[in-house]
């Protein structure tokens, strides 16, 4: 039935890749970040992990195998990260020692590393990473790391 609908394995792979790109695009942050960019991106990634675990497993496979679709998605995510950090930098919110090359790459490596190593991470958690509680803990830890590592301390209100 699948062969009849897609005509070839290549057409099936192309359809799956197209769906993956759609899923990632829908989760991507807006070109102009909201006030709390880190929280917005963290929430988007966490929702993506909760709603599309199979798609993210496939993305991890594409990244590991150096597939052209995985490369294109990675490069697009780097571009989004650069734009986000550039915007934050323009608002004076990043530290003076912020590295414009590694600044956008580090959070991406943390997120994608989590996806790629999820089965190993799961073994070290009290519940699977995909559980709502663990996703909240992961998002909080990731946001804290980014906020405390790259962003200037915000004055107390």
Residue 28 banded pLDDT, cuts 50, 70, 90 = confident
Taking alpha carbons only, the member of 27, 23, 45, 38 closest to residue 135 is: 45
Question: Token digits for 20?
Answer: 């993956």
pLDDT digits (tens, 9 = 90+) for 40-98: 888 999 999 999 999 999 999 999 999 999 999 999 999 988 988 888 888 888 888 88
What is the model's pTM? Answer: 0.82
Distance CA 104, CA 82 (A): 5
Distance CA 91, CA 88 (A): 5
Question: Token digits for 136?
Answer: 């909240």
Angle in degrees, 0-180, between the axes of helices 102-116 and 37-51, rounded to the nearest 10: 20
pLDDT digits (tens, 9 = 90+) for 50-63: 999 999 999 999 99
Contact 37, 147 (CB under 8 A): no
């Amino acid at each position: 039935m699948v062969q009849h609908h897609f005509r070839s394995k290549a057409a099936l792979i192309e359809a799956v890749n197209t769906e993956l790109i759609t899923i990632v695009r829908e989760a991507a942050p807006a070109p102009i970040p909201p006030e709390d960019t880190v929280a917005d991106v963290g929430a988007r990634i966490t929702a993506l992990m909760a709603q599309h675990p199979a798609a993210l497993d496939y993305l991890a496979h594409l990244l590991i195998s150096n597939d052209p679709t995985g490369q294109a998605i990675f490069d697009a995510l780097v571009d989004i990260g650069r734009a986000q950090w550039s915007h934050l930098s323009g608002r004076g919110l990043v530290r003076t020692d912020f590295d414009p090359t590694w600044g956008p790459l580090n959070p991406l490596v943390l997120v994608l590393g989590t996806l790629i190593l999820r089965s190993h991470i799961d073994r070290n958690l009290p519940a699977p990473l995909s559980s709502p509680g663990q996703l909240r803990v992961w998002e909080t830890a990731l946001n804290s790391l980014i906020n405390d590592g790259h962003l200037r301390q915000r004055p107390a209100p």
